[in-house]
Each structure stands twice: as C-alpha cells, then as structure tokens.
Amino acid sequence: MNFRLVREGPERSAEVNADVQRIEDVWRNCRSRFAQAGPFLFGNFCTADDMYAPVVSRLRTYRVDIAADSQAYIGAV
C-alpha cells in the first residue's frame, strides 16, 4: 500500500459503484453504532480497521468520490 500515491482511475462501472456503496453502508452502520467510542469502525482502532486499510488506500489512490462520513473514516485510518 502506498498512501502517498494518487492516480486518475478509469471510469467506474455500475458493479464497482455498487461495491463502493456497499462498503460505505458497512462503514456507516458500524460508525452509527460506535461513533461515541472513537473515530474507527468500532470506536477504537481494531482488526476490522486493519482489514479495511487496503480498501482505504485504494479509494484514496484512485480519488473515489465518497460521502463525507466515509471521508472522515478514511482520514482516521
């Protein structure tokens, strides 16, 4: 993972858009339940955040347009 790399990605297909939406839905569900405990999926940094770190890297690398709450989670990771 290279958190400093930024690229222009190809145009996203409907399938990719659906995957991004599904990821954001998972993040939003976790954050809505555990936000009071901290900025990560379950409040404090845990294995779930480790598992999503490559996804965070890919979304940042290809400048995927996502919601503000997902951007906040990405910033925390």
Asked whether residue 7 carries a pLDDT value surpassing 80, the answer given is no
Residue keyed to tokens 């569900």? 29
Domain around 63:
38-77
pLDDT confidence band for 5 (50 / 70 / 90): confident
Residue keyed to tokens 């996804």? 55
| Separation CA 69–CA 77 (nearest Å) | 13
DSSP label at 40?
Answer: B
Q: Classify residue 51: in a domain, yes or no.
A: yes
Q: Classify residue 16: in a domain, yes or no.
A: no
Q: Quick: pLDDT tens for 15-27.
A: 999 999 999 999 9
Q: Quick: pLDDT tens for 36-48.
A: 999 999 999 999 9
Q: Classify residue 33: in a domain, yes or no.
A: no
| Separation CA 23–CA 17 (nearest Å) | 10
